[in-house]
């Protein structure tokens, strides 16, 4: 079955510390993976997708097919990064989301 697992409900770091939000997936075939972010009182928005291999707001994510992972990383966290982060897998025309990780960045 296709599934996305985000093992951490909450991740707390201090400003300037490195951040890694974990995402593991289960999918037969070539996966298409995304990270979505939801800031307080704002709508869910696309942060990045693995096929574009770009860095958005300093975040990067590399698809590791061997470990079936798509972890989100940022070398130096900022307070404005505090938000809810969802990893998602595209299966035909639908997205399968993980349960999300809340990132708290303390000053």
Partner 1 sequence: DAGVTQSPTHLIKTRGQQVTLRCSPISGHKSVSWYQQVLGQGPQFIFQYYEKEERGRGNFPDRFSARQFPNYSSELNVNALLLGDSALYLCASSFTGDGYTFGSGTRLTVV
78-107 positions binding partner 1, by CB under 8 A? 86, 88, 92-100
How far apart are alpha carbons 6 and 107 in whole angstroms? 25
Region class of 67: left (phi > 0), else alpha (psi between -120 and 50), else beta: alpha
Region from 18-26, 43-51, 54-62, 70-78 binding partner 1, contact rule CB under 8 A = 43-51
How far apart are alpha carbons 1 and 36 in whole angstroms? 22
Identity of the residue, 42 or 76, whose beta carbon is nearer to partner 1 in the bound complex? 42
Residue ranges that bind partner 1, judged by CB under 8 A = 4, 6, 36, 43-46, 49, 86, 88, 92-100
């Amino acid at each position: 079955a296709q599934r996305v697992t985000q093992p951490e409900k909450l991740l707390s770091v201090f400003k300037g510390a490195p951040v890694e939000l974990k995402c593991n997936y289960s999918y037969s075939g070539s996966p298409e993976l995304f990270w979505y972010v939801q800031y307080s009182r704002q709508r869910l928005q696309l942060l990045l997708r693995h096929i574009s291999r770009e860095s958005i707001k300093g975040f990067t994510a590399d698809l590791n097919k061997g470990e079936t992972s798509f972890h989100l990383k940022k070398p130096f966290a900022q307070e404005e990064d505090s938000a809810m982060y969802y990893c998602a897998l595209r299966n035909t025309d639908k997205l399968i989301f993980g349960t999300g990780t809340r990132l708290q960045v303390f000053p």
